[in-house]
Amino acid sequence: MIQLTPHMRVLVAIDSTDFRRGIDGLAQQCRDVLREDPLSGAVFVFKNRASTAIKLLVYDGQGFWLCLKRLSAGRFRHWPTSTTPHSQLAAHELHVLLFGGDPTKALAAPM
């Protein structure tokens, strides 16, 4: 089971991803495009071109988890932007993003 904790690194791919990719294709994208190790334990977040679905990829030490959330209506309108291939979020900001909110406006107590 995946549990998002405050100490986890959450890396969001800025550009859209081909959602035909599975675990191996997304892990390769982590290496090639994001320049990150998919075995690091970080949570990698990808969106499709239409911004109607999000995939999470995380390695838990034994194997990979691949989770998909597809909205029944609407889009993920508040996707992070950056000049680099990925952006880093806090765990509580990822929760807000998964529920369609704006992670830049998510307030929490300081770490």
Residue with tokens 């405050």: 6
Q: Which residue has the higher pLDDT, 7 or 16?
A: 16
Sequence-ordered strand ranges (E) for the chain:
10-13, 43-47, 53-59, 64-70, 86-89
Q: What is the pTM of this model?
A: 0.90
pLDDT in tens, 73-87: 999 999 988 888 888
pLDDT exceeds cutoff 90 at 105:
no
Cα separation of 20 and 40, whole Å? 23
Q: Are 76 and 97 in contact (CB under 8 A)?
A: yes
pLDDT value for 25 = 97
Domain boundaries, the chain: 10-105
Token pair of 38, please? 């998919």
